[in-house]
A and B are shown apart, each in its own frame.
Chain A
């Protein structure tokens, strides 16, 4: 790999890292609100982290697409390999031209993103149900107390 390719690839990776940090420092709203909303739910917190990771990988794809034409083919191949390696548990045994895997992962990442959203939607829907029930409990309690009070008064 020549000097220019190496520098391009390293720069792209570095920009990816900068994004990681900036989400915290610049207080990314989605991320921060997730941290509060899901304080008490391990499952939802895990989903939130999945969502953040998916968004990070997607950011790398965006970084690459932004430069697209101007990236030398050497650097492109190496960068793609690196990004695929960033994904947890992706089997990176194969060497050589990874264009197919690159595109495949892109599809799967976007599918995963929508499935994660589906899980959040599902969770939100159930939260509404739960709150309804809690409300019902309070209301029933209040109504019962009224009946009880009534009965007590009648007693005396």
Chain B
């Protein structure tokens, strides 16, 4: 029975009860056959014609009953087929639910990973920029201190010049010029270097941005991979029960 073979592919658990039911459907047929052989043995030879007649009648009866049992069996078979269809439908629904669940879980994980990667990259950027900023601040302060120092020295020098050359404007002018030149060297020098700090800070900031871009690129590639692998997992859930049966 090909149908039965198909069923057995789904596993004994399902085929077994069906086998039993079909077996049972055959029972009355077997039982009747047994009775028939018994009764033919018991009949006497005296009434041959009657015997013949009853034999013919018995045979047609048998055929009728056979047909009945067959019909019965056919009916039971159709019933089982319908039950199997229902069962398959249930599996389809369950499968659909599983797939939906998997898709939802995948979306959650995808989003979570996306977010965690973005957050990590963001944090790293912020930290690095903070470091650079602090560094520049420290160094600027250092230059400013140097400038102040130079300024204080200049003031002290000018006082000294006042004190030492009160009546000598020529000498005073020369020395005051020297002081100014000296001061300018330091002030301008520091100013230049501070400006350089600014430029370098911008460059550092740009590298940090490039880091984040590289990181984002990376994330995209890896999220692609993650995406593909998860879809693979979801597809594995999509083998339908009917496919299993059709494999016969």
A–B: direct contact at CB < 8 Å: yes
Alpha-carbon distance A151/B165, docked complex (angstroms):
9
Interface residues of chain B, those whose CB is within 8 Å of chain A, are 109, 112-113, 115-117, 119-121, 123-124, 127-128, 131-132, 134-135, 137-139, 142-143, 146, 149-150, 153, 157, 160-161, 164-165, 168, 171, 174-175, 178-179, 182, 185-186, 189-190, 193, 196-197, 200, 204, 207-208, 211, 214-215, 218-219, 222-223, 225-226
Could you tell me if A100 and B225 are in contact, using CB atoms closer than 8 angstroms? yes
Contact between chains at A151 and B157 (CB < 8 Å): no
Task: Write the chain B residue with the least CB distance to A125.
Answer: B200
Can you list the 6 inter-chain pairs with the closest CB atoms, starting with the nearest? A43-B134, A91-B116, A43-B135, A100-B222, A140-B182, A94-B112
Residues of B within 8 A of A126 (CB): 139, 193, 196-197, 200
Give chain A residues whose Cβ lies under 8 Å from the Cβ of B153: 141
Q: Are B123 and A130 in contact (CB under 8 A)?
A: no
Are A137 and B150 in contact (CB-based, < 8 A)? yes
- Say yes or no: A92-B116 contact (C-beta < 8 A), given A43-B138, A147-B175: yes
CB of B122, distance to nearest CB on chain A (Å)? 10
Chain A residues with Cβ below 8 Å from B113 are: 94, 100-101
| Smallest CB gap from B116: residue in A | A91
Give A contacts to B, CB under 8 Å.
41-44, 46-47, 50, 89-94, 96, 100-101, 103-105, 107-108, 111-112, 115-116, 118-119, 122-123, 125-126, 129-130, 132-134, 136-137, 140-141, 143-144, 147-148, 151-152, 154-155
* 28 A-B contacts (beta carbon < 8 Å): A43-B135, A44-B135, A47-B131, A50-B131, A89-B123, A91-B115, A93-B112, A100-B222, A103-B218, A107-B218, A108-B121, A108-B218, A112-B124, A115-B207, A118-B204, A119-B128, A126-B200, A129-B193, A132-B189, A141-B182, A143-B182, A144-B157, A144-B178, A144-B182, A147-B175, A148-B175, A151-B164, A155-B165
Contacts of B131 in A (CB 8 A): 43, 46-47, 50, 119
Select which of B160, B193, B208 is within 8 A of A115 by beta carbon: B208
User: Closest residue to B193 on the A side, CB-wise?
Assistant: A129
**A111 and B226 within 8 A (CB):** no
| Of the residues B120, B146, B200, contact of A90 by C-beta under 8 Å | B120
Query: Is A155 a contact partner of B171 (Cβ separation < 8 A)?
Result: yes
A residues within 8 A CB of B112? 93-94
How far is A100 from B215 in the complex, measured between Cα atoms in Å? 12
Measured in the bound complex, the distance between the Cα atoms of B109 and A11 in whole Å is 30
Let me know if A104 and B117 touch, CB within 8 A. yes
B175 contact set on A, CB distance < 8 A: 147-148, 151
In the complex, the chain A residue whose C-beta lies closest to that of B225 is: A100
Given the complex of chains A and B, what is the CA–CA distance between A58 and B64 in angstroms? 87
Nearest to B218 among chain A residues (CB) is A107
Residue of A nearest to B153 (CB): A141
Q: How far is the CA of A89 from the CA of B130 in the complex (A)?
A: 15
> Bound state CA distance, A155 and B161, in angstroms?
12
Alpha-carbon distance A130/B192, docked complex (angstroms) = 11
Residues of B contacting A132 with CB < 8 Å?
189
